Amino acid sequence: MLRVLGSEKRFCTGPTRRDALWAGGLSLFGLTLADALRAGEARAVATRDTSFGKAQACILLYLYGSPSQLELADMKPDAPVEIRGELKPIRSSLPGCDVCELLPHAARVMDRVTVVRSVSHKYPIHGVAYATTGIPEIDVAMELSPHDGRHYPFIGSVVAYLEDQAKRRRRVPDNVALPWPFSSRRTGEVPRAGPYPAFLGGTYHPHFTEFVGDATIEITKTLAEKKETFREPYVGIRPDARFTLGDTGTGADLTVDRLNTRRSLLEQFDDARRQREETTSFARHRELAYALIGTNAVRDALDVAREPIGIRESYGMTVFGQGCLAARRLVEAGSKFVTVFWDEYGLAGSGWDTHWEHYPRMKNELMPGFDRAFYGLINDLDQRGLLESTLVVVLSEHGRTPQINKANGGGRDHWSQAYTALFAGGGTARGKVVGKTDKIGGTVTDRPVSPKDLLATVYHLLGYDADTMIRDRAGRPQAIVPGASVVREQLA
């Protein structure tokens, strides 16, 4: 990008003379002076905002498939039975915010949470990429194509990139995702788009872990007319289960001596390989992998067995619960951004995608595991004095229909007109509800919020302006979340 060097002279409205001259050249890149001035104003506001950069780390809990807003924290007990369903509300520690009866543990920590009830957008598809990147629009073809050139980078990848640009190095990586590579444990479908670096390149690919362990509880899942029975790790796992760093291409038994031997062999081919590499991404990723294996920081952080059994059980002995515990340990070790996915397992169309058997799955598979994990994470962070500096975010791609369908066991279909997100810690308000929906939880009636606004708020709390520019494949500057605004009602 064109820059004008020289001494800094700040105008009374905030931008510097140098920045104004720089803005004059922005038209070469499709930007205007007004764009630059708005960015300067946003930076000026941010510097006056005590919440800006309050979060030293973020743990994103992503519930793929999307829970129902009516059975999370926007219950409608006075609605007709075909809307409210069979589950009852219970009081939570946050006045005015009842939660589902299947969330008795989470109910105890809601006074530490900001509930956003008014998330809304126009894409009722499994747009994980839309929920977690700056992409301005999405379609089904993009949803099913991680390598579609239109995609924007995942928020964790952007954070890792910006930290790298600021030359902030840590003992552990800044973009770790659990429990396994996203969308890799479902059958019969291509991987879904979402948590990938897009035009930032392979260097900023999430460091996915691998789950090594056995599930303990057998369930039956339904996909239209298809049923399959298997043991489900989101329902229960053995205590000796563990997570390993999965993207290094090495086994758990690889010693440092053997690693050094492998490095020596690889280095013999460096000259030839260098001629074939289009970028330095592969080399950087490989060197990072060597560095991570050569130290114990990541391995120790992922070793949840080091925790007292009481702490482990407070998170729930499930792959999601223990993943949340590992996320807390990674943040303690210094990671800036950690994601725990509740992913599809076994059949496609699983996770929280409850078109079929909605109530049996909510009772026996989904809600108990989330209840324990969310409670365990919030309470544990708070007890350790880490909640004020650690942002916890619960996101999904949409909500679910107010009207229950006629499928076996009841079902709720895709609904993006109104749904709920949860925020805690890291500069967010304790015990607050933002936004409202109508009497059936189907339409936002107060303070509509887009998924992009939620991302802008996360970036803000982590200390990045939503107008921060990164370059796409053509070298053009792109805002990390174009057109988004911070949801200031969420801030402490």
H-helix or E-strand spanning residue 276? helix 270-276
The pTM (predicted TM-score) of the whole model is 0.84
- Closest C-alpha to 319, from 228, 239, 218: 239
Residue ranges of the chain whose pLDDT lies below 50: 1-31, 33, 37, 46-47, 247-263, 265-279, 294
The domains of the chain are located at: 1-48, 55-490
- Closest C-alpha to 164, from 77, 62, 280: 280
Per-residue DSSP letter, 442: -
Half-sphere exposure of 46 (CA within 13 A, CB side): 23
Residue listed under structure tokens 């302006």: 465
Q: Report the relative pairing of strands 399-400 and 432-434 from DSSP bridges.
A: unpaired
For 195, left (φ over 0), alpha (ψ -120 to 50), or beta?
beta
pLDDT of residue 222: 82
Fold exhibited by the domain 55-490: Alkaline Phosphatase, subunit A (3.40.720)
- Closest C-alpha to 178, from 158, 144, 208, 157: 208
Q: Report the relative pairing of strands 89-90 and 390-395 from DSSP bridges.
A: unpaired
